[in-house]
Structure 1
């Protein structure tokens, strides 16, 4: 997986995607999702590093089956809030403090 962390005035923004979706565009009904290098590009990370980043995130955007399923399995994302966009999965996390 690929992880990109950015500090923002609102807190830590974490973007996570599967390696194979970077640069791809997915469409479903009225949704179009492009996984850009500018937003999702970052460092390769194993599951432990992704979990650590998500545990510190104020906001997170996830794309790809592996990334989203890991976030669901670890309790960061409720499965009912996962979107299927084309052939991939997408989820967002917002932690209120």
Structure 2
């Protein structure tokens, strides 16, 4: 099973989780007008197993997810609507924001 890079940013009360499948780090994908850059400076943090992503998504108020494993896990846990997943060169990308009242 592949690993996932995760990085957490805490800004003004928000908890932003950036996560990508390990093998996508540093790559750029293009399709038409769309461009997805999986930048090390944004995504590269701790390398974790897929199961850990679920714990981190619980705490996150915003998430930026790239890759088959990351996005599939977020869909399984109900954080991402599969109809809202963007695919660029076949690579899934999803963003999540929790609305807190």
Per-residue Cα deviation, 1:52-85 (whole angstroms, up to 9, x for no partner): 1111111100001111111111111010010011
Q: Which of 62, 67, 77 does residue 64 from structure 1 map onto?
A: 67
- What's the offset of the Cα at 1:10? 4.2
- What's the offset of the Cα at 1:29? 1.8
Give the match's secondary structure for 1:32.
strand
Q: How many pairs are equivalent?
A: 97
Q: Which of 68, 76, 79 does residue 76 from structure 1 map onto?
A: 79
> Which whole-Å CA distance do the structure 2 matches of 1:6 and 1:66 have between them?
21
Specify every segment of 5 or more residues in structure 1 that has no aligned partner in the other structure, as ranges. Answer: none
Give the match's secondary structure for 2:99.
coil
Contact kept in structure 1, 2:75 and 2:81, CA below 8 Å: yes
> Which whole-Å CA distance do the structure 1 matches of 2:91 and 2:37 have between them?
11
1:8-27 → structure 2 map (5 Å cutoff):
8-27=11-30
Specify every segment of 5 or more residues in structure 2 that has no aligned partner in the other structure, as ranges. Answer: none
Name segments (4+ residues, structure 1) moved above 2 Å: none
**TM-score (normalizing by structure 1):** 0.95
State the Cα RMSD in Å.
0.9
Aligned to 1:3: 6
Check if 1:86 corresponds to 2:73.
no
**TM-score (normalizing by structure 2):** 0.92
